[in-house]
Chains A and B, each alone.
Chain A
Amino acid sequence: MKAALNKTAQSIVPDRNLPVSLVAKPGHVLHMQNGQYVTLGTILGQGGEGSVFKTNTPYVAKIYRPEKTTSHKMAKIQALLDKRIDCPGVCFPKAILYNSRNEFVGYLMGMVEGEKVRSLYMKPLFLKKFPSWKKRDLVELCITILKKIGYLHKNGIILGDINPDNILVKSPKDVYFVDCDSYQVDGYPCPVGTIPFTPPELQKKVHYGSYLRTVGNENFAVAVLLFSLMVTGQMPYNQKDGEGAQANIINMDFSYPLGDVSNKKTPAGPWRFLWSHLPRFMKEAFYNTFSKGGCYSTESTRLNSYDWLKKFNEYLRLLDSGKYGAQDKMSEEVYPTRFKKQKGVVYVKCPQCNEDTDEKYIKERGICMECQRKMRSRRHQKSFEPRKSSGYQGTFGRTTRTVSRATPQLGLLDILNWIF
């Protein structure tokens, strides 16, 4: 029995389609192995693999499209059932469902509520859905997510396809994981994945379903998810004037600075501020995970969910005790509008935007760095105004908005602001 739980991908027979001769519709009666019946209700949603129906029970039914019912799907659902584990919010299968002709059609699972993590990635949506959230809520959300992932890992389950559409958020403590039928369990690989969440060592593999992932592989995806929640909506390898995400992951060209090391490619916009307001130990953790040569940057050295959990618990403690806000109140906000204040610097209001800014900078320039930057890019943009209509020749230069480039007029203070 023990051996059967540790099958390798090689020893598993190839996947094959299990034919279904009846298209499931609302009103159809399905049954489970134990003989109990469920009746399908209205369709809640449709995805690439099938539809999710309400039922006459408190549970919902995921019914695959006929071409998606395969032997691996069924074996995997059975394996998850056999594990007899329960984790609040993780929509594990509750039972395999068969139609009146005894064909495997899908499974029963708990109903989920909440917003996809993807909607947290978009500032206007975030503000609409979670208007009262502070940074602490995001940190607590990470803690909730990490506990669930840690629990799954402990039970030998790899999520495989961690992404912003598979996690739903109702509140910082109330989080749901869906699409559990794609999890890697019992030697059955997870057939899906996305580039931003795939670690460098797996980027070159052709087919997500052709190999088994390790916890070390998955710890990369976990770190990407945490980063995207803390630098809310950004991916660690999106960069200004750089290569595409995949090349950056392979090169481990991380776009955010630590101390005075930076690739100078941090995306323009407020993301630098979100990064700046993270505590130093969080920045170190992300930096060392995502940068080439970092001490947590390889499959075997990456931080696992429990390592991250300790760090996030510490961060939450700092925020909730008021200690972190004492240095700079803005660190408690989700979207800070300037860099984090530093000890020993005198702050005055920028006459243009009214933000607190380093007194020395105002003395030197009259306005804050951000206002200065905006003016620079505005000037730059002016010289690239497109000509209109039929005379259009289309030879526009690429507009580049340089902030981090060490241009000659960049003073010491710019650099100082950048690195912290």
Chain B
Amino acid sequence: MKNDNLLNLEDLENNPSSRVPVCLVLDTSGSMEGDSINELNEGVRLFYDAVRSDETALYAAEISVVTFGGHASCQAGFSTLEHQSEAPQFYAGGGTPMGEAMNMALDMLEKRKGEYKASGVDYYQPWIVLMTDGMPNGSPAELSRSIQRTCDMINDRKLTIFPIGIGEDADMDVLARFSPKRSPLKLQGLNFKEFFAWLSKSVSKVSQSTPGDKVQLDVDGIKGWAEL
């Protein structure tokens, strides 16, 4: 971890490409056990492969992963995939501390943005992908704090969030509270692969643009993974 951190700072010095920070905040609680966690693992692996195979995204997208299953845990800190080895592997278990995980993601984001600024590296509006199949059951105070922080950033146009519910028991209302501008979407069945393929394409598209540009996301492509 210590060396990673140093490497991530040195990377900012050596690679001045504008960064696309993306944080995956993923539910790995006990209820994800079975097909869900397997498909999620497969989807994230595919996402890593797709970003890695795009020459521009490889040096521009910084991917981080936070999971919540029992406790909030950072599985990968913000860095380009040039400096990450394999996609992290997740195991299902424990409760659903969503607020704690979102706060962790937001903290990591703040820290990394500070590093971008300190090094003179430009960045695009960051993305958080929040996926859950259940209901948050961590600290209510942490949950409302994370919702407030997220909404403030979105309203200041400092963040884009993609909240996605998995299965029948996903708490779409809480996802909606994280997302003042667009409704949360529900994943079609276990179409994680389709979702992550779409996400990687969107990341590639953004990394081919210039910070401040409006990027048109592939709306048609959403039909491949969301219940609309």
Residues of A within 8 A of B (CB): 48, 118-119, 121-125, 163, 165, 194-196, 233-235, 238-242, 244-246, 255, 265-271, 377-378, 381, 385-386, 388-390, 392-394, 396, 398-401
Contacts and interface: CB of A to CB of B under 8 A. Distances in A.
A240 B17 contact: no
B72 A392 contact: yes
B119 interface: yes
Contacts of B119: 240, 267-269, 401
A194 B208 contact: no
Given A119-B55, A268-B13, 12 more contacts: A118-B208, A122-B17, A163-B210, A238-B122, A386-B111, A389-B72, A390-B73, A394-B106, A396-B111, A396-B114, A399-B114, A400-B118
A269 B14 contact: yes
Contacts of B2: 385
Contact of A165 (B15, B17, B71, B208): B208
A124 B81 CA distance: 13
Given A195-B212, A390-B73, A394-B106, A245 B117 contact: no
Nearest to B60: A122
A246 B120 contact: no
Contacts of B108: 394
A163 to B, nearest CB: 7
Contact of B13 (A121, A194, A269, A400): A269
B56 interface: yes
B53 interface: no
A268 B210 contact: no
A390 B15 CA distance: 31
A88 to B, nearest CB: 26
Contact of A239 (B104, B120, B208, B212): B120
A384 B196 CA distance: 33
Contacts of A401: 9, 13, 118-119
A393 B145 CA distance: 12
Contacts, number: 130
Shortest Cβ-Cβ A-B pairs, 10 listed = A394-B107, A269-B13, A267-B120, A194-B210, A390-B71, A398-B114, A240-B120, A195-B212, A122-B59, A396-B111
Contacts of A165: 208
B16 A399 contact: no
A63 B208 CA distance: 21
B219 interface: no
B53 to A, nearest CB: 13
B82 A124 contact: yes
A381 B211 contact: no
Given A381-B6, A388-B74, A48 B111 contact: no
Nearest to B210: A194
Contacts of B115: 398-399
B206 to A, nearest CB: 12
Please report whether the interface of chain B is mostly helix, strand, loop or mixed according to DSSP: helix
B85 interface: no
A195 B211 CA distance: 8
B159 to A, nearest CB: 15
B213 interface: yes
B115 to A, nearest CB: 6
Nearest to A385: B2
B38 to A, nearest CB: 24
A119 B56 contact: yes
Interface string B92-108: 00000100100110111
B121 interface: yes
Contacts of A267: 13, 16, 119-121
B210 A381 contact: no
Contacts of A396: 107, 110-111, 114
Nearest to B208: A165
Contact of A255 (B120, B213, B216): B120
Which of A234, A269, A398: most chain B CB closer than 10 A?
A: A269
B1 interface: yes
A271 B14 CA distance: 8
A186 to B, nearest CB: 26
Interface in B125-141: none
B6 A399 contact: no
A285 B154 CA distance: 41
Contacts of A388: 1, 74
A123 B120 contact: no
Contacts of B148: none
Contacts of A271: 16
Interface string B189-228: 0000000000000000000111111001000000000000
B5 interface: yes
Contacts of B1: 388
A125 B120 contact: no
B210 to A, nearest CB: 4
B118 A240 contact: yes
Contacts of B210: 163, 194-196
Nearest to A402: B118
Nearest to B114: A398
A123 B118 contact: no
B55 A123 contact: no
Contacts of A118: 56, 208
B189 to A, nearest CB: 28
A195 B111 CA distance: 25
